[in-house]
Amino acid sequence: TLSLSFESSLIQSCMSLADPDELVLDYTRAMMAFLLLNPAPKSVLMIGLGGGALHKYIHKHLPETDLTTVEINPGVIELRQDFCIPPDDERSRIVCADGAAFLAKPTHQFDIILVDGFTGEGIPDALCSPGFYRRVKAALTPQGVMVANVQADTEQTRDIMKRVGRVFDGAALSFESDEGGNDIVLAGQREALVRCCQAFDARWAALPSVHQATLAACSTRLQRALLKGFSVA
């Protein structure tokens, strides 16, 4: 494997040298849970490139999706060849910019916004403030979904859930990644979450096998979180 770390022993990204497109880290697999709400998004915005695991997965397995990844650190982008990240093309691009500033003036609205921005000290304040989540919501299409990676069981995470809940009018949930250590926060329109809850089994059955394999370990926890908060309209 090839791993990426920022000024600490915490691994930010990991790539299998035998299969560069595999989602090695459990939290990256769990972040793809948005596929159960929208299996074919027209546009995805990702804040934070890291080793490009999610960028590569979406580029390969969602060929009809327009993909923009924003990364603030040019040094991380310079490693794209080391991590086998495909070059920019007509449907995907990596932008060197501050993710919070980018969302202040987004190029358009997105079906999915993935937030995975970390420094060596954790999530920067600019990527988890109430104002940031308001900008995320404004940059989503009416049926859009935000998925954010946060550290599990911390005071910051509890604050984040409160902020996201207020911004999205309570239409938010969280569930643990496959091996713990990370929580995945998902937020969107309440009606969309209710529909996903009610038709979960049918949506799961309709997913391509590659996505079922990706989500196999976390699907039960996601369904449980949906049932807890959105089983009744």
Per-residue confidence in pLDDT tens, the chain, 233 aa? 777 776 655 667 778 788 888 998 899 999 999 999 999 999 999 999 988 999 999 999 999 999 999 999 999 999 999 888 999 999 999 999 999 999 999 989 999 999 998 766 678 899 999 999 999 999 999 999 999 999 888 888 899 999 999 999 999 999 999 887 899 999 999 999 999 999 999 999 999 999 999 999 999 999 999 999 998 75
Whole-angstrom CA distances from 186 to 94, 114, 115, 226 are 23, 9, 10, 10
Verify whether residue 201 is a known catalytic residue: no
Question: Catalytic residue among 26, 111, 116, 183, which?
Answer: 116
CB burial of 102-128 (b: ≥16 within 10 Å; e: otherwise) equals bbeebeeebbbbbbbbbeeeebbeebb
Helical ranges in 78-199 per DSSP H: 99-104, 130-138, 155-167, 190-198
E strands in the chain: 2-5, 11-15, 43-47, 66-71, 92-96, 110-115, 140-151, 172-176, 182-187
What local confidence, expressed as pLDDT, does residue 74 receive?
94
What local confidence, expressed as pLDDT, does residue 11 receive?
67
- Residues with Cβ within 8 Å of 98's Cβ and at least 6 positions away in sequence, in order, are 70, 72, 126
